[in-house]
Structure 1
Amino acid sequence: MATFVLVHGGWHGGWCYRRVADLLRAQGHVVFTPTLTGLADRSHHFDETIDLTTHQRDITNLIRWEGLRDVVLAGHSYGGMVITRVANDVAQQLSALVFIDAMVPEAGECLADLMSPALRDRIKALAAEGETSLPPIAAAHFNVNADDAQWVDSLCTGQPVRTFTEPAGDTSGRDTFANKIYVRAADYPSPGLDAMAERAKAQGGWRYEEIAGGHDLMVDNPQGLADILLGA
């Protein structure tokens, strides 16, 4: 029996992993799909102070307070920023790090640094204007399958602006971790995510996987993603 902690990406919540979690639990595994503070079912906790550190603590504290060991820790998209931080806190309690079409920040980089120039400029403008939340981007932009796009859009919520602008900081916990996997979505063209995949490959010590589906692989291809997680 394995233990999985699955961290969602921007604008999403733990709900997005429902299908993957069902597949893993059906085989007797323990699965946690926490929602990060200020999003989805925890959107009532939103405030302007929420940042990457807040979300790091969400996951680190879950692992510590639940007394988890040998955890397969996975992060989707923005979740790569989060699990990079968490690896510094609880590396000894992890068995694998899985980056699902995710950011692989270097020390000092923030999420906005890794996004398209247009979105980066939008985030900077919002921050300069004192805005605290970036509205969701339509699921169709991420090539989520047509049958599920409306469902995804109905559940996404605004993302705290400070999560885009706080630097990743120290990445040594991730960089020195032995068992790392990068999973790329084959049906979501993205120069930025291609660059993240190439960065992982260039670092060495990573396994690379590519599976069918849009950016939200847990929605588009839950079985394919579950199989990779089980093999981590």
Structure 2
Amino acid sequence: MTAFILVAGAHTGGWVWREVAAGLREAGARAYEVTLSGVDGGGGAAGPGVDLETHIEELVRLIDRVEERDVVLVGHCYGIHPVRGAADRRSERISRIVNVDVGIPEDGDPALKLVPDQTNRERVLSLAQEDSAGTLPAPAVEEWQRWGSVAGLPAEVLARLTEQAVPQPLPTLTQPLRLSGAVAELPTTGVLCTANGSSIAVVEAMVGLGDPAFRRLADPGVTFFELDTGHWPMLSAPRELVDVLFRAVAGKGHRVAAVREQPTHLRPFLMDVEERPRERTGRVDLHLPDADGPRPAVVFVHGGPVPAGARPTPRDWPAFVGYAQYAASLGAVGVTVDHRLHELTAYARAADDIAEAIELVRADPRVDGDRVGLWFLSAGGLLAADWLAAPPSWLRCVAASYPILAPLPGWGLADSRFRPVAAVRGAGRLPIVLTRVGLERPEIAVTVEEFVSAAADCGAALEVIDVPLGHHGFETIDPTDASRDAVRRAMRSVLGHLGAGTD
């Protein structure tokens, strides 16, 4: 018989697993729904000394009492931290760890590191400065979205979640997790909730970047499942989660292939482009046309997050080099930038990097500083918001290719300034060229359609170029005539708005 130990996230306890536990027992398994100390509804007091180590020791004691041979630890949100800590100390007893819509913390990581919402992080740090042993108040009904998508939760379930939630001891969120390394050898399954912005495609893209931090996700013992729901599948899709848990124990699930061949983002650009000189200054590359006098410029903005350790960096990726060289071959200065969007919390830093790069470009005597276009790709699309909300006079065009145009659930940016869907209201008659791919990931496609609708409502000057059979990143994935035609149309439209000669 398999024993499932179910550990809930912040502010909640074993009660959130009630339906999942019942389903596991009906199918012949043993289930233990864990409520950790400090979140047991005891009047909101954390109690003396309740921290992450307290919760790890509680799980260790429970594992020691479990008689079943196969023990599966299931952690949701914060719960994965005590789960991994306990598994590290009792690795010989654990047959598998299941991460429910949460990343994999490593040695030295506090739980706060995996909290996506910057406002939540800052609130925790502020409260910890006032009283390091205090508590984080339970969320109000409208605040749950900051912890993850509430998609799939009926109103009455969300109300019950709010009613039963309790304050979370701050030390459980701020104390670093300490691991010996034993846990790294255990089979692991990730349950990715697509309505919260995570998916197998996202995992594969991160592994493809080649950063060592993500290599373990391609280990043979790591599997993945997707659930089409929000961040609380034990409440929104309990039957589906039960099925996934049993399939995980059976060793099933999607395995991410290790990158043995050229990853998609390093494949050749879909067009042969005339080679032009390239100059590098700091994080900025200028691809120069064969032309006299100041020329208009197009600044290409990559997406991400791109881990700081990824090599080569985006400005050397074939797609960005190809776009910049293509612009230069048609008489404009093509600009690529390595901005520092290394994690989701770094959008403000990346925006500063882009603004600094634009100042450098406009000050170059070979550039006509009054004729500049900005071209955003993928998750870089969120960085378009500032420029759409209040376009400067020198900005002649904004382009976006397969962009993300509203923060995805679980990204912690819901109330941030990086919302092109809302910012487009300030664009006026600024030309906007949008390249839309027909085979886009659903969670991204929704944001594109919201943007198109918002642009129509406010009368924005939006041109849409469709690539019906194109994928996200089609310039190195789909080298078809239709894809090449879309790139040509988009480039000529952008350069036309800049007044560049394109013959």
TM-score normalised to structure 1 length: 0.89
Alignment partner for residue 227 of structure 2, among 208, 211, 217? 211
Q: Does 1:11 align with 2:21?
A: no
Structure 2 CA distance for aligned equivalents of residues 137 and 166 of structure 1: 21
Report deviation, 1:40: 3.1
Do the aligned partners of 2:188 and 2:223 also contact (CA within 8 Å) in 1? yes
Q: Does 1:180 align with 2:180?
A: no
Q: Quick check: 11-20 or 207-216, which moved more?
A: 207-216
What pairs up with 1:66-145 in 2 under 5 angstroms? 66-115=66-115, 116-130=117-131, 132-138=134-140, 140-141=144-145, 142-144=148-150, 145=153
Q: Which runs of 5+ in 1 are unaligned?
A: none
Q: 1:142-175 deviations in whole A, cap 9, x for unaligned?
A: 3331331001111110000001111012261221
Q: 1:120-154 deviations in whole A, cap 9, x for unaligned?
A: 21111101111600012245413331331001111
Structure 1 CA distance for aligned equivalents of residues 26 and 49 of structure 2: 38
Alignment partner for residue 223 of structure 1, among 239, 252, 259? 239
Q: Does 1:146 align with 2:154?
A: yes
Corresponding residue of 2:169:
160
Do the aligned partners of 2:8 and 2:78 also contact (CA within 8 Å) in 1? yes
TM-score normalised to structure 2 length: 0.43
SS at match of 2:108: coil
Do the aligned partners of 1:186 and 1:212 also contact (CA within 8 Å) in 2? yes
Q: Does 1:202 align with 2:212?
A: no
Alignment CA distance shift 1:114-1:18 (3 Å): same
Structure 2 CA distance for aligned equivalents of residues 43 and 31 of structure 1: 27
Report deviation, 1:41: 4.6
Corresponding residue of 2:402:
none
Count of residues in correspondence between the two structures: 228
Report deviation, 1:54: 0.5
Structure 1 CA distance for aligned equivalents of residues 123 and 198 of structure 2: 18
Report deviation, 1:38: 1.1
Structure 2 CA distance for aligned equivalents of residues 136 and 201 of structure 1: 33
Do the aligned partners of 1:84 and 1:173 also contact (CA within 8 Å) in 2? no
1:124 aligned partner, one-letter code: L
Structure 2 CA distance for aligned equivalents of residues 117 and 67 of structure 1: 42
* Larger Rg belongs to: 2
Report deviation, 1:198: 5.0
Q: Which runs of 5+ in 2 are unaligned?
A: 208-212, 250-503
Do the aligned partners of 1:48 and 1:160 also contact (CA within 8 Å) in 2? no
Corresponding residue of 1:53:
53
Structure 1 CA distance for aligned equivalents of residues 165 and 180 of structure 2: 28
Report deviation, 1:68: 4.0
Corresponding residue of 2:37:
37
Do the aligned partners of 2:46 and 2:135 also contact (CA within 8 Å) in 1? no
Alignment CA distance shift 1:101-1:111 (3 Å): same
Question: Using CA pairs below 8 Å that are at least 6 residues apart, which structure has the higher relative contact order?
Answer: 1
Structure 2 CA distance for aligned equivalents of residues 43 and 171 of structure 1: 35
2:243 aligned partner, one-letter code: D
RMSD across aligned positions (CA) = 2.4
Structure 2 CA distance for aligned equivalents of residues 82 and 209 of structure 1: 22
Corresponding residue of 1:189:
197
Q: 1:94-139 deviations in whole A, cap 9, x for unaligned?
A: 1111000124112211111222332221111101111600012245
SS at match of 2:196: coil
Do the aligned partners of 1:56 and 1:86 also contact (CA within 8 Å) in 2? yes
Structure 2 CA distance for aligned equivalents of residues 213 and 154 of structure 1: 22
Q: 1:5-49 deviations in whole A, cap 9, x for unaligned?
A: 111111010000001011111122111001011113566773142
Q: Does 1:62 align with 2:38?
A: no
Structure 1 CA distance for aligned equivalents of residues 165 and 87 of structure 2: 26
Structure 1 CA distance for aligned equivalents of residues 91 and 104 of structure 2: 17
Do the aligned partners of 2:59 and 2:86 also contact (CA within 8 Å) in 1? yes
SS at match of 1:64: helix
Percent identity, please: 29
Do the aligned partners of 1:84 and 1:171 also contact (CA within 8 Å) in 2? no
